[in-house]
């Protein structure tokens, strides 16, 4: 604010309203930031659990496919895999977590019954069927972990953005407004003292006349 301008009471009132609004916004953003952090750690805890499950299921699936390859042959396993025609349909929708839009991923018919896998009843050993079932579980978990990790990234971005806004209000906007308010109050007080002094001089001159 320029030092040679004379501030007014209306400017002071306007600044006080701006400060009140900034403080209110700062409080809301802090609560949002804290809420997002809590939700993020909930998702992180779930992600760790799902990752561990995925790792274990993938190990199991590898063991089962290796058994099937040993009992049958690589060629037969590949030919049976090529016989599967119905692939799962993945759908991506959206859901809202504290104002953050995150994906909700779903897939149809990942886990199938034996007769619905597409490779027929005859000429297929139980080892191949067990391997297929194990990999279906892996795919389910992989889709779920994809949803969770994408949600975590979006949550982290929103947390960082909210933190920047909180810091901007706390360390830039609010101090600047407070400084302007202090300056206006000081100038108004100076102007009031000058007016009082001027009025006294006028009265003194009038009394001496």
* CATH classification at residue 143: 1.10.287.3240
For residues 7 and 186, is the Cβ–Cβ distance under 8 A? no
- Look at the chain and report how many structural domains it folds into: 1
- Residue 76's pLDDT is what? 80
Q: Please check whether residue 67 lies inside any domain of the structure.
A: yes
Q: Which is more confidently placed, 1 or 174?
A: 174
Q: Please check whether residue 206 lies inside any domain of the structure.
A: no
Q: Which stretch, 22-31, 67-76, 87-96, has highest mean pLDDT?
A: 22-31
Q: Please check whether residue 57 lies inside any domain of the structure.
A: yes
Q: Please check whether residue 103 lies inside any domain of the structure.
A: yes
pLDDT at 88 over 90: no
3 pLDDT band (50/70/90 cuts)?
A: very low
Q: Please check whether residue 24 lies inside any domain of the structure.
A: yes
Q: What are φ and ψ of residue 83, in 5° steps? A: -75, -20
pLDDT at 122 over 60: no
pLDDT at 152 over 70: yes
- The pLDDT of 5-24, averaged and rounded, is 91
Report the DSSP beta bridge partners of residue 105. Answer: 92
Which of 78-82, 114-118, 124-128 is predicted least confidently? 114-118
Q: Please check whether residue 156 lies inside any domain of the structure.
A: yes
For residues 25 and 169, is the Cβ–Cβ distance under 8 A? yes
- Residue 145's pLDDT is what? 92
pLDDT at 181 over 50: yes
pLDDT at 141 over 80: yes
Q: Which domain holds residue 140?
A: 10-198
For residues 22 and 172, is the Cβ–Cβ distance under 8 A? no
Cα(72)–Cα(127) distance, integer angstroms: 9
pLDDT at 175 over 90: yes
157 pLDDT band (50/70/90 cuts)?
A: very high
Give me the percent of the chain exceeding a pLDDT of 90: 51
Q: Which stretch, 103-107, 136-140, 176-180, has highest mean pLDDT?
A: 176-180
Nearest to 155 by CA among 30, 26, 32, 24: 32
Cα(86)–Cα(181) distance, integer angstroms: 70
Cα dihedral across residues 137, 140, 143, 146: positive or negative: negative
Q: Please check whether residue 5 lies inside any domain of the structure.
A: no
Q: Please check whether residue 1 lies inside any domain of the structure.
A: no
């Amino acid at each position: 604010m320029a030092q040679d301008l004379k501030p007014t009471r209306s400017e002071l009132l306007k600044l006080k309203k701006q400060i009140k609004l900034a403080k209110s916004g700062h409080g809301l953003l802090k609560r949002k930031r804290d809420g997002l952090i809590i939700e993020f750690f909930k998702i992180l805890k779930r992600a760790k659990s799902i990752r561990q499950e995925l790792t274990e299921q993938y190990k199991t699936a590898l063991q089962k496919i290796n058994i099937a390859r040993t009992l049958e042959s690589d060629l037969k396993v590949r030919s049976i895999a090529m016989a599967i025609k119905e692939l799962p349909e993945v759908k991506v929708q959206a859901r809202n977590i504290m104002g953050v839009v995150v994906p909700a991923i779903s897939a149809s018919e990942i886990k199938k019954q034996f007769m619905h896998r597409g490779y027929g009843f005859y000429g297929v050993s139980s080892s191949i069927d067990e391997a297929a079932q194990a990999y279906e579980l892996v795919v389910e978990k992989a889709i779920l972990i994809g949803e969770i990790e994408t949600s975590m990234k979006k949550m982290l971005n929103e947390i960082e953005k909210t933190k920047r806004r909180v810091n901007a209000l706390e360390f830039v906007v609010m101090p600047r407004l407070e400084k302007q308010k202090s300056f206006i109050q000081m100038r108004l007080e100076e102007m009031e003292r000058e007016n009082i002094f001027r009025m006294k001089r006028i009265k003194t001159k009038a009394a001496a006349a």
